[in-house]
Amino acid sequence: MRYYTSLVVLLSSLSIFGQTEDLVDWQFTLSEDGTAIEIEATIATDWVIYSQHTDPDGPIPLEFEFTDLSGVELDGAVVELTKPITELSDMFDVTVMKFKKKATFKQKLKLTEGKPNIKGTVTYMSCDATRCLPPKTVPFEVE
């Protein structure tokens, strides 16, 4: 009986350990005049995400992909409004650009016709001081 109890406890702890919480909360909002998507990332304490412009030999950079654009065209690239922290990473042994706690971004748009509807994904990598999680892709839709 003790063997079975230990086995159940072990399997339960493995399944709990294997689950990861959402470490980054993403908010995508269309500006009032419809000419920009405002993006905000709220990052869990002690975790970071990396800039779109970090060293290619380092972590997976942040990537925004727009897959369906109705009523709009993209006007340039996504701009990082929050200044990233630039430092040498012991984990990657390269200089990285990263964000802690909050990061804001903006994608300018050109209205073409009708009501704007934008779909896409954001892919990012989260790390703390000792480990990194696999890259995660989150879908979004802005109307």
The domain spans of the chain are 22-142
Q: Which residues contact 133 (CB under 8 A, 6 or more apart)?
A: 20, 23, 125, 126, 127
Does the 22-142 domain belong in CATH 2.60.40.1250? yes
pLDDT of residue 14: 35
For the whole model, what pTM was predicted? 0.82
pLDDT of residue 135: 96
What is the enclosing helix (H) or strand (E) of 37? strand 36-43
Determine whether 6 is exposed, middle or buried from the number of CB atoms within 10 Å of its CB (0-12, 13-18, 19+).
exposed
Per-residue pLDDT of the chain (143 residues; tens, 9 = 90+): 433 323 333 333 333 344 456 899 999 999 998 899 999 999 999 999 999 998 989 999 999 999 999 989 999 999 999 999 999 999 999 999 999 999 999 999 999 987 889 999 999 999 999 999 999 999 999 98
pLDDT of residue 124: 97
